[in-house]
A and B are shown apart, each in its own frame.
Chain A
């Protein structure tokens, strides 16, 4: 694992979950910026667990842009579990802050929990994402590690989330921005 400024390079054996996320992002990134948050970030960096869903945020899109993105995902072998109606997905789900889920066609797990960024924390994750490069196999944008650690410890707080945070803290020891971590911890304690 090589740590560079705002970039980590992994020479990782790609597992089925990584493959799924890389395939999804390859179809998505032609249409929008994105950031991956929560559990998969810890798994990407080696946590010994699996998840059925991968949380992904995109900036708010209009209906026409979402339709293009949606249609490209379908062409690339994904389907939306919630509905096949693009207007319904946009109006009844995304615009109301409700996530929708995409999986490989004909499958339900693993899936991407896809939603629009809806607050300052989400916007911050999008703008300050960490790039994770799989040597020769693509790049993923993930939320800043300091934000992940603070969010999991303070906002989520389950045993699993605290363990994810502990893993990231140990792994990134010496590479974390202490001021940034303090900032996120203070921000989340106020919420």
Chain B
């Protein structure tokens, strides 16, 4: 049994990267950057 399928995981990560880049292109800067700010500001 394979515990972790790195290739499949990367495929899933790549899907999200493409999804998010498309989201940025099709939404206002204020909209996507608010979500990014919420994430970054909660960490820093």
Contacts and interface: CB of A to CB of B under 8 A. Distances in A.
A163 B41 contact: no
Report, as a range, how many residues of chain A touch the other chain. 20 to 34
B4 to A, nearest CB: 13
B25 interface: yes
B18 A166 contact: yes
Contacts of B34: 13
B29 A170 contact: no
A121 to B, nearest CB: 25
Contact of B36 (A46, A166, A171): A46
Given A163-B17, A170-B18, A50 B30 contact: no
**Chain B binding site: helix, strand, loop or mixed by DSSP?**
helix
**Chain A binding site: helix, strand, loop or mixed by DSSP?**
loop
A17 B17 contact: no
B11 to A, nearest CB: 12
Contact of B20 (A10, A16, A159, A167): A167
A171 B17 CA distance: 10
Given A14-B37, A43-B40, 20 more contacts: A1-B24, A10-B29, A10-B33, A11-B29, A13-B30, A13-B34, A13-B36, A13-B37, A14-B33, A15-B37, A16-B37, A17-B44, A45-B24, A46-B36, A48-B36, A50-B39, A109-B44, A163-B13, A170-B22, A171-B21
